[in-house]
Amino acid sequence: MASTFTDRLTVNICQKKSPLLVGLDPRWEQLPDVFRKTADSDNPADRAAAYREFCREVIDVVAPLVPAVKPQAAFFEQLGPAGMAALANIIQYAAEKDLVVIADGKRGDIGSTAVAYAEAYLGREQSIWGADALTVNPYLGDDSLAPFAKVAEDRHAGIFVLVKTSNPGGKTFQDLDTGGGPLYMRVAELVDRLASQSVGHCGYGCVGAVVGATYPEELVDLRDTMPHTWFLVPGFGAQGGDASDVAGAFDERGLGAVINSSRGIIFAHAREPYAEKFGETEWQQAVESATLEAIQQLSDATPAGRL
């Protein structure tokens, strides 16, 4: 059995022959009617129950097709204790389906607080939340990343550090000139140094990077700068990035990146051509069809086709 996080992720990707990562971002207004019609939208417990069942049913569809899922903690935190209980249930359920689980919490702090965040989330068997990996904000500096990296390595888990994000406003800080290159490149260099300290058989360490699909040229440069770093690539699909935009994230084997799609898959029933073909009554079939289409697009346009 693969021991490091990236080795386990590699095994899942090779078994599924796809790097597609499905984001679990439940939004009340976009849920199929079957989940909303029996719930009180003003009752956090009702909404949390609907999120839990919706995400579990998405997992049922995508588990045979993709290597990993990424629940977005914010949508569950929004609902208070009931929402957090739903998040815990979904993480456990995805793990039972042999999916790698990346908790999207974008945590970041220093010292014992950073350790507490890391110990809370990282490690399927060792942590309360039981996630395999966590997204991390680096802008408190290297002493904020080191505790996360250490806990991740000790627990055979992973972190994904925000380096070059897909949102338009990310450039406000990330693109600032540091006298020899943009700030995000300095972050990238630090991330790869950390990653190089825990390289597994697959060639990548437990410290990864979040790099957006909406910046394809920068993606190529960052792949060169971070040879030991696994990428989590948002922005594919609903945010505007297409499969050819993410090709630069991969190595020549078709490894080194997971490509996230959230709304474009989990709410496929609400967009064409799936809305006309399936509609709300067959929303799971729409999820499956959209997942298969995304997998094929990535196979056709990126080195992932070599898997």
Q: Which of 17, 106, 150, 171 does the annotation list as catalytic?
A: 106
106 is catalytic: yes
Residues 147/115, Cβ–Cβ less than 8 Å = yes
CA distance 56 to 59: 5
Alpha carbon distance, N-terminus to C-terminus of the chain: 19
Are the CB atoms for 171 and 184 separated by under 8 Å?
no
Burial of 115 from C-beta contacts in 10 A (0-12 / 13-18 / 19+):
middle
Q: 133-136 and 100-107 as β-strands: parallel, antiparallel, unpaired? A: parallel
Q: CB-based contacts of 117: which residues, under 8 Å, 6+ apart?
A: 105, 107, 108, 109, 134, 148
Distance from CA of residue 100 to its chain's centroid? 10
Tokens encoding 54: 């919706």
Catalytic residue annotation? 106
